[in-house]
Chains A and B, each alone.
Chain A
Amino acid sequence: MKRLLLSMLAVASLLGAPGAQAGDARPMAEDPQVEARLISISEELRCLVCQNESLAASRAELAQDLRREVRSQIQAGKTDAEIRDYLVSRYGDFVLYRPPVKPTTWLLWFGPFLLLAAAVFGLIRFLRQRAAQAPAPALSAADKAAAQALLAEAASSDSPPKNTP
């Protein structure tokens, strides 16, 4: 109960004082729109220090600097595309989680489709070849007679093997 009261007080004091200082989280309160754009841009960018983390998620020092840079560019009125271009011009396409389509990335973008096409082509060829193959040669007369003899022998037998139903 006491805790609830305290937290309500805290909320009230935050609402009452828009310029309230709150350490790291302070810039969030400054302009929610800027922060929302910052997050949407930086989620699409790679942190160069921890390469499998996005710029939005990384706690690396450089990621913090880059977020600050992106934030100041948003505040300066740059568009999302301009900001992305700026970072690409400094760090290369590697910062983008979605690589652009250009000659050096054609293999990356179209390679899987190429493989798929090759596989489908191979499958069709294989199936055609199999269909075109001559049917199995007919049984020779001697073989046929031998098979019939065996079948007749099995049918006339009084005690069929136990494991046949």
Chain B
Amino acid sequence: MKRFLIPLALFLVLVGFLAVGLNRDPHEVPSPLVGKPAPAFTLTRLEGANQQFSPTDMRGKVWLLNVWASWCVSCRAEHPLLVAFAKEGGLPIVGLNYKEVRGDGETDARQLSASDELALTRKRAAGWLAQHGNPYQLSVLDMDGRVGIDYGVYGVPETYLIDKAGVIRYKQIGPITPEALRDKILPLAQKLDKES
């Protein structure tokens, strides 16, 4: 009897490993940036021609940085949730418009001049927000994706929860689901809000 116990135990261990491994989404790579200060940047805003934004402008607030683009299909899925959340006055949301023109495979941005690309970016981004609603306090334009690399963006949409000291506390990879908002982001944000 004992000789069957060892293979059975080994098999159960294997089943355990497989059960954990196969239930993981390999596309969700945990971000090393959680717990680290949000990388600094200064980018042009979507709203004003000469307005700039930098994460340090949000010091003292708990806020969300949401990476989006008009060509991003999953963004469309999460957008109504963000719009509703912003209406309730949940948290300030800053939009990082990621490679609006270059990320869209249909347009060859190399053939555009920098000012043409900026104009096209503004037109598309503003048009999309007008159509689907604007949950953002403001949006910034990351046309070449450099800031995206600094934030470890590899699939849009992604959302970062940043605390009052400018430290990233949570990263949502892929669209925000109502469950993630209710069970993770909101409780954590409330906790962070009490911290001084």
Contact = CB atoms under 8 A, between A and B. Distances in A.
Q: Do A and B come from one complex?
A: yes
Interface of A: 48-49, 51, 61-62, 65-66, 69, 88-94
Contacts of B151: 90
A49 B155 contact: yes
B26 interface: yes
Contacts of B146: 65, 69
A91 B145 contact: no
Interface string B138-171: 0000001110111110110000000000000000
8 contacts: A65-B148, A89-B32, A90-B33, A90-B150, A91-B152, A92-B29, A92-B31, A92-B152
B27, B30, B152 pick with most chain A CB within 10 angstroms: B152
Nearest to B105: A61
Contacts of B154: 48-49, 62, 91
Contacts of B150: 90
A61 B151 CA distance: 16
A91 B103 contact: no
A61 B99 CA distance: 10
Interface in B25-48: 26-27, 29-33, 36
Q: Is the interface of A mostly helix, strand, loop or mixed?
A: helix
B32 A92 contact: yes
Contacts, number: 43
Contacts of B105: 61
A58 to B, nearest CB: 12
A65 B29 contact: no
A126 to B, nearest CB: 11
Given A48-B154, A89-B32, A91-B154, A65 B149 contact: yes
Contact of B32 (A49, A62, A90): A90
Nearest to A92: B32
B170 to A, nearest CB: 15
A90 B152 contact: yes
A91 B29 contact: yes
B172 to A, nearest CB: 16
A8 B148 CA distance: 43
Nearest to B152: A90
Contacts of B144: 65
A51 B32 contact: no
Contacts of B103: 61
Contacts of A49: 154-155
Contacts of B99: 61
Nearest to A91: B152
Contacts of B148: 65
Contacts of B30: 92
A66 to B, nearest CB: 7
B107 to A, nearest CB: 12
A20 B68 CA distance: 37
A51 B26 contact: yes
Contacts of A93: 32
Given A61-B103, A65-B145, A66-B149, A91 B32 contact: yes
Given A61-B99, A61-B103, 10 more contacts: A48-B154, A51-B26, A51-B27, A62-B154, A65-B144, A65-B148, A69-B149, A89-B32, A90-B33, A90-B150
Contacts of A92: 29-32, 152
Contacts of B33: 89-90
